[in-house]
Amino acid sequence: MKKSTILRNLITILFWLLLSVTTINAADIQKGKAYLSGDFETALQEFQPLAEQGDAHAQFKLGVMYDFGEGVAEDYTQAVYWFRKAAEQGVAVAQFSLGVMYNNGDGVAEDDTQAVYWYRKAAEQGHLLAQVVLARMYNNGDGVAEDDTQAVYWYRKAAEQG
């Protein structure tokens, strides 16, 4: 399985987890159900206006839809656009997703330095996968100087989460 396929599968899992913890009121639960049931047209109609109004979680969800072509044509540039909007508002899973996009060169030029920047933002918020990927990048010297101390630090942070 390709690295990008594995990371995309992880993003999908993270999206579902984020959706489960961010659905607070009945309207949000219904919106989440539309997405989870595969009714992407309805989910798009619900997420789009919220995302355009600045709702960071709707922006992330829209990014996922563009990333996977769910209810819209697959468009990595649009995915990056929406991930960045959410990431700049501090949504860790969006920061991680943006790191993946830079890591793979999807919708942006491949740039390990930018990937590290976004992975670190997510890792500092306790995002487990970002911590593991960041540790690996320090271990391999991808986008940063090879640094065993930093690699061990981030692996430990991830391990502390179980």
Residue 6 neighbours by CB distance under 10 Å: 10
Q: What is the pLDDT of residue 26?
A: 45
Q: What is the pLDDT of residue 6?
A: 58
Radius of gyration of the chain (CA): 16
Q: What is the pLDDT of residue 8?
A: 57
- Entry pTM: 0.83
Q: What is the dihedral of CA 145, 149, 151, 156, to 10 degrees?
A: -160
Q: What is the pLDDT of residue 19?
A: 46
Q: Give Cβ neighbours of residue 119 (< 8 Å, ≥ 6 apart).
A: 95, 96, 99, 130, 133, 134, 137
99-108 pLDDT, tens per residue? 999 999 999 9
DSSP assignment letter at 62: H
Lowest mean pLDDT of 5-19, 51-65, 136-150, name the range. 5-19
